[in-house]
Amino acid sequence: MTTFTFVHVVLSLVGIGSGVVVLYGMIRGKRMDSGTALFLATTILTSLTGFFFPFHGVTPGIVVGIVSIVVLAAACYGRYVRHMAGAWRPVYVIGATVALYFNVVVLIIQLFEKVAGLKAVAPTQSEPPFIVTQLVVIAAFGVAGFLAVKRFRFERAKAVEMAKAA
C-alpha cells in the first residue's frame, strides 16, 4: 500500500467513525460541533483524494465521488453558512447522512474486493451476501436518516440570529 493510499484509507475510516458518532448525535438531538467538523473535513478530503488515483475512465467510484462532493457542499452550506435555519436543517442532516452512506458503501465494496473470505462468497459482487449487505446498509441509513431529520433540532432563535449575522 502506498503512502497516498494509506492516507486516503485513514481519512475514510476517520470520516466513517466520526460520521457514525455525528449521525448518532443527530438522532439523539445533539449538535456535536467538533465531531461534525471532523466528519465533514475528512469526508471531503476522502472524496477529493479519491480523484488522484489512476484514472481509467468514468467508474462508479468516480460518479459516487462527484455526487458526494455535491452533497457535502450542500451540507456544509446548510450547516455553516445558513446555520441550519429553516429548510437548511434537513438539507444538512440529509446531506451528512447521504455522504456517510456513500463512504460506508465504498468501504463495503472495498471489503468484498480485498478480504479473501468476503471475495470468496461474492466474487463478482452480484451474489446474495453482497446484495443482502447492501440492502441492510441502505435500510439502516434510511431509518437513521429519517430519525435524524425528525429528532435533530437547532434552537430556532439562535439559528435566526446567526443567519442574520452572516
| Chain segment 68-110, per-residue pLDDT in tens | 999 999 999 999 999 999 999 999 999 999 999 999 999 999 9
Three cell numbers, residue 157: 432563535
47: containing domain: 3-165
Task: Please compute, for residue 60, the number of CA atoms within 13 A of its CA located in the half-sphere on the CB side.
Answer: 6
Of residues 103, 79, 96, 42, the one with CA closest to residue 159: 79
Give the chain's domain count: 1
| CA–CA gap between residue 64 and residue 43 (Å, rounded) | 12
pLDDT at position 157 is 43
The type of residue at 125 is: Q
pTM of structure? 0.90
